Chain A
Amino acid sequence: MILQVQNVTKRFGGLQALSDVTFDLPEGQILGLIGPNGAGKTTLFNVINGVYAPNAGRVIFRGEDITGKPSYEVSRRGMARAHQVVRPLHELTVRENVMVGACFGREGLHLAAAARKADAALAQVGLADRADQPSGNLNVAQKKRLELARALAAHPYLLLLDEVLAGLNPSEIASMMETIRAIRDEGFTILMIEHVMQAVMSISDRILVLDYGVLIASGSPEEVVNNPQVIEAYLGDPEMTARLMAE
């Protein structure tokens, strides 16, 4: 198991954001995390990569207990993340942004090696021709790719992708999906939050469903879309399920 989340609970004041969440992620899989808005998906990411410490429970990464470790310690152990709300380092060029990932990620590369790694990661996500531009000049789709390149350049064991498809148009989604598949084929383990159902269903090996901070279902895409609880909480409509599986 590359990641084990055990009985994780997170409260913000009176709000129970995560209740007793437990799951395992084996190496080499893509695990999709779905659920309605406010279900606690991003909070779960924040607990896993050390932005928040959980109130209870443990996070085990590659056999090591990383519960409550600061996010930079988690990053160096080989976990990288692409944010839902893109966070480019505006004044830095696209290449410099990705170099930060390479310099301070798992491999901790030096500048020259990081620059080479950055160029490779940018080529992989299709941003090579933008390398020397300030990252603030990119459009939303390009910023999403930049987030992905930054995470990839860290050469992590585990990649956390938080809605990298959100806000993209259908053709951008299709090309981003190709990129993600290619990344998986290189052997990265991926945990992804996604709202674009066709995408997450077609790409994930397994799906977790979170609702009001509680894990209400987990299993293969087929199992999950046919689960009555999931249909009620999230998908909303049995016919939608049929459509999803047909596509």
Chain B
Amino acid sequence: MQAWRRLGFWLPVAVMFVWGLLVLVMHHDTVRETAFTLFMFIALASSLNILLGYTGYVSFGHIVFFGLGGYFGFYLLSQHNWPLLPSALAGGVISALIAGLLGMAILRLRGAYFALATIGINEAARAFADNFSPFGGATGMFIQFSAYEPYGGPGPALWASFIYLWIITLAVILVSYLVKHSRFGLGLLAIREDEDAAMVMGVKAPRAKTIAFMLSAVGPGMIGTLYFFKNGNVEPGDAFQLHMSIEMLVMVMLGGMGTVLGPLLGAVTYVGLRGYLLTTPIFQNLHLAVAGLILLLIILFVPAGAVGWVRSRVPWLRRALE
């Protein structure tokens, strides 16, 4: 396939591959933790991009798939002693199934109505987790210390979860690229630009949107499981944080929605900025306000995001930046 040879594909993949490899070689806990957070947000933002960037549907509640998938995976892990990888995969599958069911109901809505519905879903999911006793209700669930034994103790278990996250992040970026350069992806882009015209041209919009929604939910579900495994517990307040949904939106918009590289760039930039704000006394409690301001400025002045802006200004870079 000629597409595989393109730089636009290799650039993000190579960056992620080398980065993960460096973390493994350095074998330092702080470096791993930083990379874990960044990889997590890169994969979350890239997943959201399939819905937001390619299909043009704004979800304010995308973290719900991280929460629900994570909850389900963690449930298998902590209550049924499943190993980490199958639990994470199950978390991804359940997220996709929930997205499929939700999608059939709410993807009929367009624009602001869809966005509002996604906020409602996040709150509904949190209330569900709060009151569902198999998931531990409001106190959530904990992991037995013995669960770390198959990995050789808690330390190596954290390394194992990092390696899985690395692979999942690479896979999410791969899927993002493949979708963008497929016939299916062209249909999504057509829906984004004009859904009614796309349907007149033969794009089966209801089905395509639902599949896009499901694809964008798989990654968050798997990553949620890994994240809660790393933390050792899961509780409703951690799993369904509305502000994380909004931060995901900021990352995608900042880097450039509808591009493969954009969410990667946006996630790294935003997480870096947030780290700076959180450690600077004046901004400590204002990092969300700053996120809101960034979102506003991007929408007003650079709606295409960083990658989109460069692509439109420097034509010869178009091949290199997907």
Hey, which bits of chain A sit against chain B, CB under 8 A?
49, 51, 70-72, 75-76, 80-81, 83, 87-92, 96, 99-101, 103-105, 108, 110-111, 114, 150, 154
The yes or no answer to B138 lying at the interface (CB within 8 A) is no
Q: Smallest CB-CB separation from B189: which chain A residue?
A: A92
Give the interface of B toward A (CB within 8 A). 181-183, 186-187, 189-190, 192-194, 196-205, 258
Contact in complex: A91, B258 (CB < 8 Å): yes
- CB-based A-B contact count at 8 angstroms: 75
Establish whether residues A89 and B194, one from each chain, have CB atoms under 8 Å apart when the complex forms. yes
Complexed CA–CA distance, A32 and B18 (Å): 63
CB distance from A198 to the nearest CB of B (A): 29
Chain B residues within an 8 Å CB radius of A111: 181-183, 186
Interface of B is mostly: helix
- Distance of B204 from chain A, by nearest CB (Å): 5
> Could you tell me if A51 and B186 are in contact, using CB atoms closer than 8 angstroms?
no
Q: Can you name 21 A-B pairs with beta carbons within 8 Å?
A: A51-B200, A70-B199, A71-B200, A72-B201, A72-B204, A81-B200, A83-B200, A87-B194, A89-B198, A91-B193, A92-B190, A92-B193, A100-B203, A101-B201, A103-B183, A103-B186, A104-B201, A105-B201, A111-B181, A111-B182, A111-B183
| Cα separation A87 to B199 with both chains bound (whole Å) | 12
Distance A110 CA – B157 CA, assembled complex (angstroms): 44
From B56, which residue of chain A is reached at the shortest CB distance? A91
Assuming A75-B201, A76-B202, A154-B201, is B187 touching A91 (CB within 8 A)? Answer: no
B198 touches A100 (CB 8 A): yes
- Report how far A150 CA is from B186 CA in the complex, Å: 14
Does the CB pair B258–A100 fall under 8 Å? Answer: no
**How many angstroms between the C-alpha atoms of A169 and B211 in the bound complex?**
44
A96-B186, A114-B183 given; A89·B199 CB < 8 A: no
Across the interface, A72 reaches (CB within 8 A) one of B186, B192, B193, B203, namely B203
Q: 9 new A-B pairs (CB below 8 Å) besides A51-B196, A104-B204? A: A72-B204, A72-B205, A75-B199, A91-B258, A96-B186, A99-B186, A103-B186, A103-B187, A111-B183
- Contact with B193, one of A81, A89, A103 (Cβ below 8 angstroms): A89
Distance A74 CA – B201 CA, assembled complex (angstroms): 9
Q: Which residues of B contact A89 (CB under 8 A)?
A: 189-190, 193-194, 197-198
Q: How distant is the Cα of A108 from the Cα of B187 in the complex, in angstroms? A: 12
Given the complex, which residues of B lie within 8 Å of A92, measured CB to CB? 189-190, 193
| Beta-carbon contact of B203 and A104 below 8 Å | yes
Chain A residues positioned under 8 Å from B200 (CB to CB): 49, 51, 71-72, 75, 81, 83
* Contacts known (A83-B197, A87-B197, A103-B183); A72 close to B190, Cβ less than 8 A: no
